[in-house]
Amino acid sequence: MTVIYETNVVELGDMVESFYDDQMIILFEIGAPEEMREYCVLHEKNQLHDEIQVDDTLYIGEESYKVTAVGSAVNKNLNQLGHITLSFYGKTEPDLPGYLCLENKKIKPVIEGNSIKILRG
C-alpha cells in the first residue's frame, strides 16, 4: 500500500455533524477562515505525497471509502489549503471542482484524533 495523503483531525466545527445527512464532510487545515471553522473537520500535518486517483481508498480512522471521482481542483486545494469536500454519493463525476467523490456509504462520525489517509494498492 502506498500512502498518497495523510493528516490528523484536531478539531471539529459545531456544524460538522449536520452535513452527515447530506453525505458530506468539509476538510480544512488548521488556520481555516473563521467563517468556515464551524462547518469543517480541521486537521494538521497536511501531507499530499501524490495525486489522488479514482480507486484509491480514503480512511477516516479504521473506516474505508473507495474514491469514485476526483474534482479538478482537489489535489491543488488539498496540497495548498488542506481544503476539500468529501462527497459520499458514489458519483463518477464531481458536482464541483473541489469535491472528492467516495462510494455511497454511511458516514461513520469523525472524532478528534482520527487519522485521515488515502492509500493506493
Given the residues 25, 43, 84, 116, the one annotated as active site = 43
CA–CA dist 113, 8 (Å, integer): 6
The alpha helices in 1-120, defined as continuous H runs, are: 34-37, 74-81
Q: Which residues pair with 12 in a beta bridge?
A: 41
CA–CA dist 82, 116 (Å, integer): 12
State yes or no: is 43 an active-site residue. Answer: yes
Secondary structure class of 111 (helix, strand, coil) = coil
CA–CA dist 3, 20 (Å, integer): 26
Secondary structure class of 118 (helix, strand, coil) = strand
Catalytic residues: 43
